[in-house]
């Protein structure tokens, strides 16, 4: 993946859960990488975490409860959602973020538009009055 590996300060021994032989197989974990994940459209990104490298896994990255908790992600298995509670972004069903609100008009701009509308109103009123007279 081209990530910069760093050595763990305290080495970790883990026992393999699914080994082929009956013997206990212990693997020493010695390295970690700093990892920040993005959705494919770059609308959402996770906080940077330190991920321990475990050789021979069935998946390139396995995210656990500490990752979910650190990034405030709530999973609903029934609805098939993984929502970041900070941003409201659903990682499993990405939608583009809503467009930003239009900026509020400044008071001066509001009055300038009001004066223009008033001029049109007065002109229309004069036209209607002259037709009636």
Q: How confident is the model at residue 125 (pLDDT cuts 50, 70, 90)?
A: very high
User: pLDDT for 36-63, tens place per residue?
Assistant: 998 888 889 999 999 888 887 877 788 8
User: pLDDT for 90-110, tens place per residue?
Assistant: 999 988 777 888 888 899 999
Provide the number of structural domains found in the chain.
2
**Same-domain pairing of 66 and 105:** no
The mean per-residue pLDDT over the stretch 116-122 comes to: 93
- 3-state SS, residue 12: strand
The CA-CA-CA angle for residues 10, 15, 20, to 5°, reads 145
User: pLDDT for 62-83, tens place per residue?
Assistant: 888 989 999 999 999 999 999 9
Q: Show Cβ contacts of residue 29 under 8 Å, excluding neighbours closer than 6 positions.
A: 8, 11, 12, 13, 14, 52, 53, 54
Last residue of a domain, one of 25, 56, 72: 72
Tell me, yes or no, if the pTM score tops 0.75.
Answer: no
**Same-domain pairing of 16 and 53:** yes
Q: Does residue 1 have a pLDDT over 80?
A: no
Asked if residue 81 belongs to a domain, the reply is no
| Residue 73 bridge partners (DSSP) | 84
Domain housing 60: 6-72
Q: Judge contact between 53 and 39, C-beta under 8 A.
A: no
Asked if residue 85 belongs to a domain, the reply is no
**Same-domain pairing of 109 and 65:** no
Asked if residue 93 belongs to a domain, the reply is no
């Amino acid at each position: 993946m081209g990530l910069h590996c760093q050595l763990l300060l305290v080495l970790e021994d883990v026992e393999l859960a699914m080994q082929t032989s009956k013997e206990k197989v212990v693997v020493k974990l010695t390295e970690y990488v700093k990892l920040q994940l993005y959705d494919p459209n770059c609308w959402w990104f996770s906080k940077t975490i330190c991920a321990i490298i475990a050789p021979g896994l069935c998946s390139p990255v396995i995210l656990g409860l500490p990752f979910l908790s650190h990034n405030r992600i709530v999973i609903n298995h029934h609805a098939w959602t993984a929502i970041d509670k900070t941003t409201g972004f659903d990682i499993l069903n990405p939608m583009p973020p809503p467009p930003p609100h239009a900026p509020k008009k400044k008071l001066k701009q509001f009055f300038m538009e009001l004066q223009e509308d008033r001029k049109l109103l007065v002109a229309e009123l004069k036209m209607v009055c002259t037709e009636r007279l």
